[in-house]
């Protein structure tokens, strides 16, 4: 597997379970992500130089396709009247299938902070299939100093692979589109949607879950 960019070599993609990837581009800067996105035909440039991408069927979030693992902890702490649940076993099947689907892919990875206050922010690693998705989340979250990247160990990991299609019967979800969160393992799986905002919202959802227990009212 080919790897480029600054990264923590002791805590790479293999630690998360990825196998047989073609390459991983770590923490690329804006110009590089523009180049990869344009070369792959993911997006086009506007007259003013902005990167423009088509998100397909989804031009916004799909709340009914968002699922949280219901376990001993979340069962008591989540408001289930407004949230969909899946079992740990269903999430495990989804996780395995995501990793299998990613084999042979080139992924883009960003190491970022969710939240500005060092006392409450969460170290977030985001793997994306698309370069422009990597650019999007790099712009929305807080970028660490370059010197911090070599020792970065994520507390939350997000995998965003739009080409993945969920199996409602196997994975216990509603459609081929899915956002699945396991708070115990701090993993978010996003598939089926090219709408990049699902990544940002997943970070907000995670902070909304953990911060109240610390006496913090999140936004």
The reported pTM is: 0.96
Query: Could you read off the pLDDT of 43-81 as tens digits, one per residue?
Result: 999 999 999 999 888 777 888 999 999 999 999 988 888
Query: Could you read off the pLDDT of 103-114 as tens digits, one per residue?
Result: 999 999 999 999
What pLDDT score does 217 carry?
87
List strands edge to edge, sheet with 84-86. 2-4, 23-26, 106-114, 122-128, 156-161, 187-191, 178-182, 66-69, 84-86
CA atoms in the 13 A half-sphere facing the CB of 213: 10
Position 2 confidence tier, pLDDT thresholds 50, 70, 90: very high
Q: Answer yes or no: are the C-beta atoms of 181 and 161 closer than 8 Å.
A: no
What pLDDT score does 79 carry?
87
Query: What are the sequence ranges of the domains in the chain?
Result: 28-43+64-214
Computed over every residue of the chain, the mean pLDDT equals: 95
The structure tokens 């993945």 sit at 164
Average pLDDT over residues 110-121: 95
- Is the per-residue pLDDT at 90 higher than 80? yes
Of the candidates 133, 128, 99, the one whose C-alpha atom is nearest the C-alpha of residue 14 is 99
CA 100 distance to own-chain centroid: 17
- Is the per-residue pLDDT at 219 higher than 80? no
What pLDDT score does 165 carry?
97
In the chain, % of residues over pLDDT 90: 90
Output the six-digit token pair for 85.
């649940």
Question: Regarding the domain delimited by 28-43+64-214, which CATH topology (the fold level of the hierarchy) does it fall under?
Answer: Phosphoenolpyruvate Carboxykinase; domain 1 (3.40.449)
List helix spans (H) across the chain. Answer: 13-16, 30-39, 74-77, 88-102, 131-140, 168-171, 197-210
């Amino acid at each position: 597997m080919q790897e480029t960019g600054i990264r923590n070599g002791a805590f790479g993609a293999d630690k998360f379970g990825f196998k047989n990837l073609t390459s991983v581009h770590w923490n690329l800067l804006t110009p590089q992500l523009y180049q990869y996105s344009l070369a792959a035909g993911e997006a086009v440039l506007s007259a003013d130089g902005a990167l423009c991408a088509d998100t397909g069927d989804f031009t916004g979030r799909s709340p009914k396709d968002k699922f949280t693992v219901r376990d001993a902890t979340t069962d008591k702490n989540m408001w289930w009247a407004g949230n969909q649940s899946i079992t740990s076993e269903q999430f495990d099947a989804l996780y395995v299938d995501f990793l299998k689907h990613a084999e042979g892919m080139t992924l883009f990875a960003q190491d970022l902070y969710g939240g500005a206050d060092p006392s409450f922010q969460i170290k977030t690693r985001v793997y994306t299939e698309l370069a422009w998705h990597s650019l999007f989340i790099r712009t929305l979250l807080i970028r660490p100093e370059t010197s911090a990247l070599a020792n970065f160990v994520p507390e939350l990991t997000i995998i965003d692979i739009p080409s993945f299609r969920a199996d409602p019967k196997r994975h216990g979800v509603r459609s081929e589109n899915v956002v699945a969160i396991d708070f115990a393992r701090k993993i978010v799986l996003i598939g089926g949607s090219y709408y990049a905002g699902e990544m940002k919202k997943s970070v907000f959802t995670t902070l909304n879950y953990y911060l109240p227990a610390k006496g913090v009212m999140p936004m």
